[in-house]
A and B are shown apart, each in its own frame.
Chain A
Amino acid sequence: MNTQTIPPLAPDAPVVLEMSNISKSFGAVTALVDVSIKLRRGEVLALVGDNGAGKSTLIKILSGFHQPDTGTIVSQGKEVRFASPRDARAQGIETVYQDLALIGDLSVFHNMFLGREYHKRILGLNLLDNRKMREQAQLYLDTLGISIPSVNSTVDLLSGGQRQCIAVARSIYSSPRILVLDEPLAALGVRESAHVLGLIQNLRQQRQVSVILIVHNYNQIFEVCDRINFLHSGEVALDASTADTSEEELIRIVKSGLGRKAIDAAAAEVRPGIV
């Protein structure tokens, strides 16, 4: 129903990221089994799945926060290994975590530039250029149409929606190639949600940014996503394009999902050939 808002992805859009056969366990808990995902340039991929399906673990591997037990990540045609979130950021992969990773005791502008601070040299000392960071943060938030009382206020004084906007703004500030958003709309009202979804659409269209989105609201998936990967019990149980699937079908598949085979059967039943 909303599919008309998504312009079709160029058929020859190159693959910008490939995670292959990723497995990860935490002690006795198996979080991911042999998961492979592929992302093309300018594509918006939705990751869906129940709580504990492994979505957050997968993106934390992509962001360098966790290291996979097995499997490879290929970014821009080269195999990469992320030992820390810094490495992933250096590769142009920015992540907005579910917990937003904002520092409550620091100001909005310090949060915006945490890990990539501007400096100026005074008497041979490498000091923070607070004025520049303050101005840049203000300018940037204005450009994005995100309104907060002041970039000087500490983050713990902001509302949930404002924090979420700051986290999203921070992630797109450095013009990433790949943007990973873990439930970016969780604390947002209808208007703010639409705003962030608009941001994602613009990034995709104007800058060819590829986006991985974890969302629970299936309606929103069909508004902005090109493709859906359904994770179930640490495995990719379904990989389908939004153009070939309807919201009702997706909900039916997710509800019926008891494992790969069950999903395959269910998917084959509703629409042969999409799995």
Chain B
Amino acid sequence: MPPIAIAKAGKGAVGVKVPQTMTERLLILLSRYREASIAVVAIVLVVYFQVGSDGGFLSPQFMSVVLRDTGRLGLIAAAEVMLMITGEIDLSLSAIFSIAPYVMALMSVTWAVPLAVGAVVGVLIGVLVGAINGIITVRFRVPSLITTVGMLFFLQGIVVSIYNSQPIVAPVEQPFNAIFGQSLYQPSDALLSWHGVTAFTPFLWAVLIVLALALALNRTTFGLHTIATGSNIIGAREIGVRTDRMKIYNFMIAGGCAAFAGIINTAQFTSADPQAGSPFLTLQAIAAAVIGGTSLLGGSGTVIGALIGAFVVASLNNGLVMIGAQATVSDVYLGAAIIAAMILSIQVDRLRTRRRL
């Protein structure tokens, strides 16, 4: 196109400054790499527990427990991050976490359906529930907090009424169980043996999915439109972003992730417990997302941060017990961490915007 010949506009009076002071550099670092602050916290915790437990914390055996919990929590936390970026939230994920593997085990026991097929059906159920959550939220304009609380009770009611709250023993099938999280690391295992690796599969799956979500969020049109939807929904709509669809897609992703996390959990315990996912699991996942650097305000978030946040939560839960504290004490730290993370996140944003960094 031909260049338009006009005089250059004057330099903007207000602009993005080059950082001057230490405070400004720190603010930029904190806002640009939201994962950085939680990563520092994670390292400090690891060192603290490692010293406190005389080296037991970082043993493969203990790590397989912490990372198993990290994987389960991290998947749900990452799912919540995607939704929180669009400005929504899903409190029914714990119920999806319960119902998907329950259906898988039920199909296997009643109709002898292979676990792998049942797993696919379970994930599809999760995606479907997500779609329903999304449609109710978007089309009927019910706030997602309410939609998904309703869905939580609805699904939880279904899953406990199937067999009177009885867990179903899921048959062990190989290689399904090995691939999706056979069991924990045994003292006799070598780290590079087959069993040494499969003890970590739940975590490896979580890492894989979180990386895929990070790629989708940061390097695709889908991610761009997801952020646009949460950041300025009217503006996004005006410029042609299909904001309703973006929300529904992210509800579907969240449902699928929660179902998958539930299936991994069942593969580990070889038992589908209808109460495997308590609502507390979802709240812990939201906590992990928030301390990982995602705000509830929409428009920004990090799934990698959520996974690190999940590691911090899992470390607190397990590590405090290991160094001899009471199990319930970890919640005190978790609660304080959520509030501190939220204050930090909001204040960093405010200062950065004010100083135009």
A69 to chain B, nearest CB (A): 20
B162 to chain A, nearest CB (A): 40
List chain B residues, Cβ under 8 A from A153: 16
From A25-33, A71-79, A197-205, A224-232, give the one contacting chain B. Answer: A197-205
1/0 per residue A87-111: CB within 8 Å of B? 0010000010101111111100010
How many of chain B's residues touch chain A, expressed as a range? Answer: 35 or more
Cβ–Cβ contact B6 & A114, under 8 A: no
Does A144 count as interface, using CB distance less than 8 angstroms? yes
User: A202 to B357, alpha carbons, bound, how many Å?
Assistant: 34
User: A65 to B239, alpha carbons, bound, how many Å?
Assistant: 9
B1 to chain A, nearest CB (A): 6
Among B3, B238, B357, which residue has its beta carbon within 8 angstroms of that of A97? B238
Does B300 count as interface, using CB distance less than 8 angstroms? yes
Query: In the complex where A101-B232, A105-B299 touch, is A143 in contact with B224 (Cβ < 8 A)?
Result: no
B62 to chain A, nearest CB (A): 36
User: A157 to B354, alpha carbons, bound, how many Å?
Assistant: 9
Does A219 count as interface, using CB distance less than 8 angstroms? no
Cβ–Cβ contact A198 & B235, under 8 A: no
Cβ–Cβ contact A195 & B228, under 8 A: no
1/0 per residue B233-247: CB within 8 Å of A? 011111111100000
Does A261 count as interface, using CB distance less than 8 angstroms? no
Cβ–Cβ contact B7 & A145, under 8 A: yes
1/0 per residue B215-252: CB within 8 Å of A? 10001110011011011101111111110000000000
List chain A residues, Cβ under 8 A from B225: 114
List chain A residues, Cβ under 8 A from B352: 157
Cβ–Cβ contact A192 & B9, under 8 A: yes
Considering the complex, give the chain B residue whose CB is closest to the CB of A102. Answer: B235
List chain B residues, Cβ under 8 A from A157: 16, 352-353, 356-357
Considering the complex, give the chain B residue whose CB is closest to the CB of A196. Answer: B9
User: A223 to B228, alpha carbons, bound, how many Å?
Assistant: 36
List chain A residues, Cβ under 8 A from B231: 103-106
Query: In the complex where A147-B12, A149-B15 touch, is A117 in contact with B224 (Cβ < 8 A)?
Result: yes
Cβ–Cβ contact A114 & B241, under 8 A: yes
User: A206 to B237, alpha carbons, bound, how many Å?
Assistant: 31
How many of chain A's residues touch chain B, expressed as a range? Answer: 35 or more
Query: In the complex where A110-B224, A202-B6 touch, is A104 in contact with B299 (Cβ < 8 A)?
Result: yes
B152 to chain A, nearest CB (A): 29
Query: In the complex where A63-B238, A199-B4 touch, is A128 in contact with B15 (Cβ < 8 A)?
Result: no
List chain A residues, Cβ under 8 A from B220: 125-128
List chain A residues, Cβ under 8 A from B357: 157
B242 to chain A, nearest CB (A): 8
From A3-11, A35-43, A159-167, A245-253, give the one contacting chain B. Answer: A159-167
List chain A residues, Cβ under 8 A from B239: 85, 101, 114-115
Cβ–Cβ contact A202 & B238, under 8 A: no
Does B141 count as interface, using CB distance less than 8 angstroms? no
Does A146 count as interface, using CB distance less than 8 angstroms? yes
Query: In the complex where A86-B240, A148-B15, A206-B2 touch, is A195 in contact with B234 (Cβ < 8 A)?
Result: no
List chain B residues, Cβ under 8 A from A130: 219
Cβ–Cβ contact A114 & B228, under 8 A: yes
Other than the given A105-B232, A128-B221, 9 more pairs (CB < 8 A) read: A101-B232, A105-B230, A105-B299, A119-B221, A145-B7, A145-B8, A158-B16, A199-B6, A202-B5
Binding site for A on B (CB under 8 A): 1-16, 215, 219-221, 224-225, 227-228, 230-232, 234-242, 299-300, 352-353, 356-357
Interchain Cβ contacts under 8 Å between A and B, 12 examples: A95-B238, A97-B235, A102-B235, A103-B299, A104-B299, A105-B299, A105-B300, A106-B227, A128-B224, A149-B12, A191-B9, A207-B1
